[in-house]
Amino acid sequence: MSALSQTHALKSLVETDATWRLLRADNAPVIAALLSEHLGGENRRLPAAELYELIDHDLDALRAHGFDLPQVAQSYCAEWRKAGFLTRRPAEEARGETFELAPGALGAIRFVEQLAAPRQTLTESRLSSIAAQLGQLAVDTDPDATRRLEQLHAQRDRIDAQIERINAGELDTLDPARALERVRDILAQAEEIPSDFARVRERFENLNRELRARIVESDDTQRVVLDEVFRGVNLIAESDEGRSFDGFSALVLDPAVGAAFDDDISRVLGRDFTAQLTSSDRRFLRRFIGTLKENSGEIHDVITAFARGLRRYVQSQDYQRDRVLRGLLRESLGAGVDASNHIKPYRPTGLHLELSGMPLASVGAIQLHDPADLDASAPIAEHVAEVADLEALRALARETEIDFTELTAHVNDLLATAAHCTVGEVLERYPASQGVASVVGLLVLAATQGTSGETSDTELSSETVRWRGTDDIGRAATIPIHRFTGRLL
């Protein structure tokens, strides 16, 4: 590849690759540190709300140390998802969404970590691993039976010689420094596995979209994908990626391989030289095979879901509707290109388009629920039940109801000495003990058992009544004259 073509290829990569985009970001150290802390360790996936809370807490600490970070965690996560650093998926066990690192962000974080803490790459363990794999590949691919037998016999002789030395008491163990070097080399290779799983899942997602696009865009003469789906062929599992992953998964899920792997890890971690490893490295090794099984199962679920969705998409004939829609869109675009030669884009068309009836509103109008508003932190007062007080009950009744018995007695006492009396005269003799309630009670009694509105020309038609309220303030009101002419019942 010439320098010119390579330059164009790298320029395109700068614009499309998420790894390069993260490394070129203005706040690349902040982004890499936050994403590595919360999604680059044991927790590879977090609910959106939990991730927002964790990042907001870290943002406050960073601002206190002079970092210019004006936005909140939710805004930053939205930007990072749009830039390809985060992958958002619906939560499987509960309502909501989850975030996880995209393959590009994983690669950038691993690159930054190697810059911050470089590991020795030119090591004996790495060269030995390459030589062993190359030698095994040469044996496994040799078509000459005689040469393969010679190589296998030589390998058996070396093993027999090693057994004889051990039986003779010549036991040579690996130097602790070299053993630690090999362990770290194994860790460096194992840490690449999560990135590989993320890339595999992304590739299956792209493959699913590509197959759906081929179904929609292919014409009747190119019915290969449709025919295979109708025949029950799992195109995703039968793809090169699917077959490659199936071989990897079969090895991971092999019980014998898993048991041997766990046993080897337990024995290695029991050696003295592993004390120099960090606790996170030892924990990573112990959980490594379990993590592989968990991620493999997740990828299998993804493959199964995509295969079922693709089959359902074809068998339900939904692709026919998408084909019609695609044809209409192409016709509209073609007509628009033709019309652009003699019609300006801003020319009124005179057409009326019925918009959706869905009301549109700004997200800023949404009021968030604050659980603190319903906080019942105040202590609950406990009231011990006591024997009811008759006088207290009477006082409570007088506060809530008009005492008609008292008012009737007052009117009858006044009528014993006079032929008739008005409401005002009753209040002058017996002040309102219940304030305005006594006035209202007398008016009710006068309206039902007295007379009103029947006055001569020389008599007044209204009178002023006075009382004191519960606040001990005197009040007065002018009311029509009501007379009591007979004893009240």
Answer yes or no: pTM beyond 0.95: no
- Of the listed ranges 332-346, 353-367, 395-409, 426-440, the least confidently predicted one is 353-367
Kindly report the average pLDDT of the chain as a whole number. 78
- Segment 418-424 mean pLDDT: 87
Q: What is the pLDDT of residue 221?
A: 43
pLDDT score of 457 more than 60 = no
* Contact criterion met (CB below 8 Å) for 13 and 20: yes
CA 489 – CA 486 distance, rounded (Å): 9
β-pairing, 97-101 with 86-90?
A: antiparallel
- Segment 386-393 mean pLDDT: 73
The Cβ-side half-sphere exposure at 108, using a 13 Å CA radius, reads: 26
Q: What is the pLDDT of residue 17?
A: 83
pLDDT band at 469 (very low <50, low <70, confident <90, very high): confident
Q: Where are the domains of the chain?
A: 3-116, 191-335, 397-484
- Of the listed ranges 121-125, 243-247, 258-262, 483-487, the least confidently predicted one is 121-125
Query: Bigger pLDDT: 371 or 1?
Result: 371
- Segment 237-261 mean pLDDT: 69
- Of the listed ranges 231-235, 266-270, 274-278, the least confidently predicted one is 231-235
Query: Bigger pLDDT: 135 or 101?
Result: 101
According to CATH, the topology of domain 3-116 is Arc Repressor Mutant, subunit A (1.10.10)
pLDDT band at 42 (very low <50, low <70, confident <90, very high): low
Contacts of 11-14 spanning 24+ positions with Cβ under 8 A? none
- Segment 9-20 mean pLDDT: 81
* Contact criterion met (CB below 8 Å) for 226 and 218: yes
Name the range with the highest mean pLDDT among 11-20, 59-68, 170-179. 59-68
pLDDT score of 404 more than 80 = yes
Name the range with the highest mean pLDDT among 98-102, 150-154, 317-321, 385-389. 98-102
Which of 477, 469, 402 is CA-nearest to residue 442?
402
Which of 257, 328, 246, 324 is CA-nearest to residue 289?
257
- Segment 151-171 mean pLDDT: 80
Rg (Cα) of the chain, in Å, rounded?
Answer: 44
- Burial of 355 (C-beta count, 10 Å sphere; 0-12/13-18/19+): exposed
Query: Bigger pLDDT: 59 or 137?
Result: 59
pLDDT score of 243 more than 70 = no
- Of the listed ranges 38-42, 76-80, 219-223, 421-425, the least confidently predicted one is 219-223
Q: How many Cβ atoms sit within 10 Å of the Cβ of residue 439?
A: 23
Dihedral sign of CA atoms 10, 15, 16, 19 in order: positive
Query: Bigger pLDDT: 328 or 213?
Result: 328
Query: Bigger pLDDT: 201 or 56?
Result: 56
Q: What is the pLDDT of residue 123?
A: 59
Name the range with the highest mean pLDDT among 1-5, 77-81, 201-205, 270-274. 77-81
421: Cβ–Cβ under 8 A, 6 or more apart, which residues? 411, 414, 415, 483, 484
Q: What is the pLDDT of residue 218?
A: 67
